[in-house]
Copies of this chain bind each other. A is one copy, B any other.
Amino acid sequence: MSISTPLGLSSRVRSTPFTRRVEESGVSGYTVYNHMLLPTVFRSMEEDYYHLKNAVQVWDVSCERQIEITGPDASWLVQMLTPRDLSKLEIGKCFYVPMVDENGGMLNDPVLLKIAEDKYWFSIADSDLIYWIKGLAWGLNLKAKVREPDVSPLGVQGPKSAELMARIVGEEIKNLGFFRFKKFNFNSKELIIARSGYSKQGGFEIYVDDFNEGEAIWDTLFEAGQSLDVRAGCPNLIERIESGLLSFGSDMTNENTPHESGLSKFCDTRNAIKCVGRDALLKEIETGPWRQIRSLSISGAAVPPCRSAWEVRANNIYVGRVSSAAWSPDHQTNVALGMIHRDHWEPNTLVTVETPDGPREARIVSEPFNP
């Protein structure tokens, strides 16, 4: 079993402004995300999970790198990059935007922030999206500057996150709407803070725009949050599967379209928008996707980590794959996400999942486990 194989460290795997604090806080697992360290566990997956659902955690999600697009052609380019209609994207709003190639295959699923009329940030999932955007901009000879700024998001997640943030930046932050951002005064500096994050426990993301200020911002959060039992945390595998939050590269890849990934509501290809992949996506809409992401409940004891996709079968025929799975203490079952073929994706359909521990009965569920 290689679950405890150490991660070899090198400067190719980038440290973050918060890495020293993360290690002082006792990180006990790392992954690599956008060539950068991302913690995966502190005390234990389950202890982290309960704490996230009951208190407040500070997450080093610096690996959500920003891609900044500026210049006269910025708005045109940004719309070319996603099938989502951006005409209603105002300054101060965040949009979740699937990004696809010419075949409609997913390239990333970032959050887009409109910072100014001609300035955008993509807060990205795990792929070098900047290469795609720079390639397009060069090929199309656009007047747009594309770069990775010195910005490292720091998550504050959990039911007590609003209280913690209010203690530092003022009560006003409690009125910030979901997927909205504003500048707040934090440690005597204006910082962009959004109501967002990779959990369904509520929370914020602070866009720390100076590597050297990372530790001071971290420390301020821990001083202000002491009575709230603030702890270092990270995206929690169990909670994010329960919540139906997808992981690009696991649950959907370049082999999948946004419709397969359950992201149809973020695709406005029927409108007159111009974007890469529009024709392919319009064609898919005619027939509908032939497979789609689903939540599943896998029977039996806790499954091992899903290191590579598990086959899903019905009557011994291949009908899909499970890409993420974990034992859920709250739901007392194994929660999972998988791409399931159309004939078997209806709620309550029974299927068999081929885990490394042998076949297990599983059931398609209608909605993510967490509301």
Contact = CB atoms under 8 A, between A and B. Distances in A.
Interface of A: 2-15, 23, 27-32, 35, 40-41, 101-102, 107, 126-129, 131-141, 237, 247-250, 276, 305-309, 323-324
Nearest to A101: B134
Contacts of A135: 131-139
Contact of A308 (B4, B14, B102): B14
A10 B31 contact: yes
A324 to B, nearest CB: 7
15 contacts: A2-B9, A2-B27, A7-B31, A8-B30, A9-B307, A10-B237, A11-B308, A15-B308, A107-B131, A127-B131, A128-B131, A131-B131, A134-B135, A136-B136, A136-B138
Contact of A247 (B7, B12, B133, B134): B12
Main secondary structure of the interface of A (DSSP, over half): loop
B29 A8 contact: yes
A250 B31 CA distance: 18
A7 B137 CA distance: 36
Given A102-B138, A128-B131, 11 more contacts: A4-B6, A5-B6, A8-B29, A11-B308, A12-B31, A12-B126, A15-B307, A31-B32, A35-B127, A132-B135, A135-B138
A39 to B, nearest CB: 8
Given A135-B135, A139-B135, A29 B11 contact: no
Chain B CB within 10 Å, residue with most, of A40, A132, A133: A132
A31 to B, nearest CB: 5
A15 B27 CA distance: 24
A9 B237 CA distance: 11
A346 B102 CA distance: 49
